[in-house]
């Protein structure tokens, strides 16, 4: 039985091509090198597998749509029986670069995160036992798990491990900003460079740094001014119980941010311009002129990298003993 990463960053083997030539708070994203393609392929099948949900309709891709920047572009996601989710779904792209998963960081790993929605009554509304029973009932899945994990006795740990390994491949290197970091002086326009200069000067890079341009810290939403929202989440406090963590959320990645609207944990803001203006006021106490906002938005759009090129997997059919979906069952 083999658990662990099947995806390595290219620079783990040869970092000569991806060492930034510029000393900046943001580093270029490394392309993924796949070391266990069979496990990645199985994980992709499970990522797109709606039979892991009670309805037989919702898959990981429903909320983390790989054709839409790894998210669903909704304020909060739609779960079982059209239930409204409690919080905005973060992008799955570059999620392997986060210090933890979910807005409140309650999952330490991608595998732990993958297990959560399956048995969440607001999301996929199944149980781990029934989800595994579905897979065990389909001989083709049994063959795949046996070849990779050495057993047909599938467990939820096998399932989430495979999904996590697939998600580790969902990185987006080669953005124009990365090309600039790697030495291409012509990769950015004068406006984009000015936007990046402002981004650093006013303090945005204190939270949005590293490969993911975020995802490495938890910070309070509303340091200078209180953020007004109807969303009840108290963020990191719900994990730690510490008063200091009230309304503290994981800093979101700015990679591909032009594709991952609406913004913030409540999904209340639909444009980058408005999000930039609000964050400057709430977190930095700055009233930015429109020119600065426009320049910073131009810079952030250069953070869109190569999107994962995904061939939709063909899933094996259910068998007579496969548990039946219950798409309209509210119990």
Active site residue 201: no
Helix 190-201 to helix 290-301 angle, to the nearest 10 degrees? 110
Query: 150: which 2 tokens?
Result: 């050495």
CA-nearest of 118, 114, 134 to 126 is 118
- Element spanning 35, H or E: none
Cis peptide before 59 (omega within 30 of 0): no
Alpha-carbon span 60 to 123, nearest angstrom: 10
Q: Which of 33, 41, 112, 123 is catalytic?
A: 123
The C-alpha angle with vertex 124 and arms to 115 and 321, in degrees rounded to 5, equals 90
Closest CA to 45 of 314, 322, 307: 314
Nearest to 249, CA basis, from 98, 102, 84: 102
Residues classed as catalytic: 123
């Amino acid at each position: 039985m083999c658990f662990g990463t099947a995806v390595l960053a290219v620079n783990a083997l040869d970092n000569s091509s991806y060492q930034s030539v510029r000393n900046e708070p943001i580093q270029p994203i490394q392309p993924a090198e796949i070391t266990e393609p069979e496990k990645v392929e199985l994980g992709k099948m499970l990522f797109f597998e709606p039979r892991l949900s009670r309805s037989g309709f919702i898959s990981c891709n429903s909320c983390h749509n790989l054709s839409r920047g790894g998210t669903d572009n909704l304020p909060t996601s739609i779960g079982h029986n059209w239930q409204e989710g409690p919080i905005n779904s973060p992008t799955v792209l570059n999620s392997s670069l986060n210090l933890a998963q979910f807005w409140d960081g309650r999952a330490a790993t991608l595998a732990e995160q993958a297990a959560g929605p399956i048995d969440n009554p607001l999301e996929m509304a199944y149980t781990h036992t029934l989800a595994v029973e579905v897979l065990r009932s389909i001989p083709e899945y049994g063959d795949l798990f046996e070849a990779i994990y050495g057993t047909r006795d599938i467990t939820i740990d096998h399932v989430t491990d495979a999904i996590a390994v697939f998600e580790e491949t969902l990185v987006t290197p080669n953005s124009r900003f990365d090309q600039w970091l790697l030495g291409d002086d012509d990769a950015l326009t004068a406006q984009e460079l000015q936007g990046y200069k402002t981004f650093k000067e006013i303090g945005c890079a204190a939270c949005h740094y590293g490969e993911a341009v975020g995802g490495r810290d938890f910070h309070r939403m509303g340091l200078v001014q209180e953020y007004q929202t109807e969303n009840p989440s108290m963020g990191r406090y719900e994990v730690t119980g510490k008063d200091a963590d009230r309304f503290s959320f994981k800093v979101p990645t700015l990679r591909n941010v032009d594709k991952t609207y609406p913004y913030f944990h409540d999904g209340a803001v639909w444009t980058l311009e408005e999000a930039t203006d609000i964050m400057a006021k709430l977190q930095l106490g700055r009233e930015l002129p429109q020119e600065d906002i426009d320049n910073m938005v131009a810079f952030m759009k250069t953070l869109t990298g190569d999107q994962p090129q995904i061939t939709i997997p063909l899933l094996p059919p259910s068998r007579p003993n496969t548990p039946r979906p219950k798409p309209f069952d509210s119990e």
